[in-house]
Structure 1
Amino acid sequence: MPELPEVETVTRTLNQLIVGKTIERVTVSLPRIIQRPDDVLQFAYLLEGHTFQKVERRGKFLRLVLDGLVLVSHLRMEGRYGMYRSDEPVEKHTHVIFHFTDQTELRYKDVRQFGTMHLFEPGQEFVMAPLNKLGLEPLDEQFTFEKFRAVIGKRATLIKPTLLNQAYVVGIGNIYVDEALFRAGIHPEVKANTLSDEQLEAIYHAVIATLQEAVEAGGSSIKSYVNGQGEMGMFQQYLKIYGRKDEPCVTCGTAIVKTVVGGRGTHYCPHCQPDS
């Protein structure tokens, strides 16, 4: 599933591709992707004649702002957007097409069919699902250590699933939690409320640094992720712990262990990330 760095990359790419384009009509071939309104014809009708103003990100969600409307989109497992000329063949698994007045199209393709779209009047999206219960934004300038400690430090749950909980901090994702905890030297199965302020601060800085580096690299193309121009992310080339089971740790040479924590495949170094 695309996490914060991948969604941030898609956000930046779509800002280059669709801002200023006006929707002539919308075609939907898989109605269940449209979550709000529940009438697909109304969804298409409401968007006609509107122009994209900007694209932003909230957690793992895309927030596509038009003049008078906001489209909130989640890519889920394998959703992707791409720009095409209107005369180009439509690929299999293309479920939503935004036809523009300049004879180009923004197409949403989703092999797994888990993606969602919600349409709101401006401002509604922040007080209604799916955005209304999201936690702190780790790349926002208002993401301070004090706020992070207040949200994370008192939890009696294991630190890894705590960091993955979107109600606390958004968008980190499985890959980036493993990388951040390795960078901070924290075992993934330590309970959050047993960590010292020094350890919590190490995690705080590691989360920010890991996500910033991933964004700069365009995200991680572990499976099928590409941005809106079909380009792969490159952060997977810099992974120090994730996906490296039994390989030597880059810091100490100890074999990397893979286990399951909170139902998620988890990588750590037994030497650099002691469990006590």
Structure 2
Amino acid sequence: MPELPEVEVTRRSFAEAIAGARVESVRLGKPLRWPLGVDPAKLRGQRVGEALRRGKYLWLPLEQGGLLMHLGMSGSLNFSPGSSSAPGLHDHFDLQTNRGLLRLTDPRRFGAVVWSPGLDEDPAAKLLAGLGLEPFDPRFDGGWLHAGLAGRRVAVKLALLAGDIVVGAGNIYACEALFRAGIDPRMPAQKLSRPRCARLADAVRAVLAQALEAGGTTLRDFKDAHGVAGSFQMQAEVYGREGQGCLRCDGVIRRIVQGQRSTFFCPSCQKR
């Protein structure tokens, strides 16, 4: 599933090229997770603004409202200059502009493109309501994380994945951040001290910044809007390394399942 770094990398790869373009046509393929919510003909002629990101959502503002996009489990956006090419089997949304074609490809169709009159109005406001702080928001620090984890009995990794304290710490990045902070992913969230929360907040920011620099993670088919794959998976210290030696000690990386997701960690380095 594309996580925050992959979505941000995607945004950066087409935002400048499409900003200021005029919509010429909209094509809908097979139904996605939610309906578009507007007559596609009403989008023609509207000018495109600067693409933004909130969590794993992309917001493409238009002169009247905008389009909220989500890549779902397997979706990707591609931007190509010039006229539209014939859509493939899994191409379910085309936004043709006078500067090029923005196309959503989604084999599993869990993604979505939804029109909304604004980010602060429904349906966008409802979809974004439960999101936590952005990881690079100055307010996200150890104090914020400590307050958010207070009273939560679930494992700290699951609390990070919930996304209502901070967005962006998806499965891969939560594993890596907990390793860097030296925290066992099974530890009850409410038991983390303020100093450990500070280390974890720093680690979350550092891991996500590194992933952005690497163009995201490509485990299967993620590519940005120009078809370029990410390389963070080559830099992972614990994720996907079950049975291999820890890069920091003499321990061996273990894999467990938490919330139906694989968790990788070093029992020697990461303490409860």
TM-score when normalising by structure 1: 0.92
Instruction: Measure, in 2, the Cα distance between the counterparts of 1:238 and 1:65.
Output: 35
How far does residue 167 in structure 1 lie from its aligned partner after superposition?
Answer: 2.0
- Deviation track 1:202-239 (CA, whole Å, cap 9, x = no partner) reads 11111011111111111111111111110011111110
Pair 12,127 (structure 1): closer, same or farther in 2 beyond 3 Å = closer
Query: Among residues 178, 186, 209, which one is paired with 1:189 in the alignment?
Result: 186
63-72 or 251-260, which deviates more: 63-72
User: Counterpart of 1:131?
Assistant: 128
Q: 1:94 to 1:20 in 2, by over 3 A?
A: same
Q: 1:63 maps to which residue?
A: 59
Which has the larger displacement, 49-58 or 77-86?
A: 77-86
Kindly state the Cα deviation for residue 126 of structure 1 after the two structures are TM-superposed.
Answer: 8.2
In structure 2, relative to structure 1, the CA distance for the partners of 1:263 and 1:34 (3 Å cut) is closer
Q: Against the structure 1 CA distance between its residues 35 and 131, is the aligned structure 2 distance closer, same or farther, given a 3 Å change threshold? A: farther
Query: 2:140–2:201: 8 Å Cα contact kept in structure 1?
Result: no
AA at the equivalent of 1:70? G
CA distance in 2, matches of 1:46, 1:172: 37
Match among 260, 265, 269 for residue 266 of structure 2: 269
Structure 1 residues 202 and 153, CA gap change in structure 2 (3 angstroms): farther
Decide whether the 8 Å contact of 1:125 with 1:132 is kept in 2. Answer: no
Measure how far apart 1:141 and its partner are.
2.6
Q: CA RMSD in A?
A: 1.7
Say whether the 8 Å CA contact 1:93–1:109 is kept in structure 2. Answer: yes
Q: Which amino acid aligns with 1:181?
A: L
Change (3 A) 1:192 1:3: same
Of 212, 229, 232, which aligns to 2:229? Answer: 232
Letter in structure 2 aligned against 1:146: G
Q: How high is the TM-score relative to the length of structure 2?
A: 0.93
Instruction: Classify the secondary structure of the residue corresponding to 2:207.
Output: helix
Q: Which runs of 5+ in 2 are unaligned?
A: none
1:105 aligns with 2:101: yes
Q: d(CA) in 1 for partners of 2:255 and 2:107?
A: 29
Give 1:47 deviation, angstroms: 1.5
Where does the alignment leave 5 or more consecutive residues of structure 1 unmatched?
Answer: none
- 8 A contact 1:27–1:97 mirrored in 2: yes
Question: Structure 1's 87 and 194: CA in aligned 2 closer, same or farther, altered over 3 A?
Answer: closer
| 1:243 maps to amino acid | G
Structure 1 stretches of 4+ with a deviation exceeding 4 A read: none
> Aligned residue pairs: how many?
270
Q: Does 1:72 align with 2:68?
A: yes
Indicate if the aligned counterparts of 2:76 and 2:106 stay in contact, CA closer than 8 A.
yes
Whether 2:229 is the aligned partner of 1:211: answer: no
* Residue 144 of structure 2: aligned partner: 147
Taking a change above 3 Å as real, the CA distance of residues 144 and 135 of structure 1, as seen in their structure-2 partners, is same
Identity rate, percent = 36
